[in-house]
Amino acid sequence: MEKEIRKMIDMALQARAKSYAPYSNFHVGACLQDDSGEFYLGCNIENAGYTATNCAERTAFFKAVSDGKRHFKRIAIMGGNNEDTLDFCPPCGVCLQVMMEFCNPDTFQIILGNSDKEYKIYLLKELLPMGFGPQNIDNENRG
């Protein structure tokens, strides 16, 4: 698993290089792995109308979901205040909510790195302990 995590961190760094962050200069890349082992990359994409900005994590999820994927194992996230700096970069609340929609909070891993050698792994339930997901909605009333 160590080799796979390092590969995902490297891919997240590659995605980060494509980040469009002219306003915050906060560049983030993500590498999402689905349950079959495929990878989906995402970077943050800012917009002058700030609410139209999209995080790297959601970019990766939306790419995967638009390809028909619905089940995921883990995501690696690499980010920092400028193109040359990395720091542990946890996902925002909106990204955690998207993860809650498609991931098992007891098993989905969130990998945060501040270099290609140093990283921390969290379960989704640790970062969103009382998350609201599909299991909270009565399936009979879902449209």
Phi, psi of 63 (to 5 degrees): -65, -45
Rounded to whole angstroms, the Cα distance separating 84 from 131 reads 33
Maximal CA-CA distance, the chain:
50
Catalytic residue list contains 57: yes
* 8 Å CB contact between 30 and 18: no
Distances (CA, A) of 54 to 21, 95, 97, 140: 10, 9, 14, 32
Among 2, 46, 57, 118, the active-site one is: 57
Catalytic annotation, residues? 57
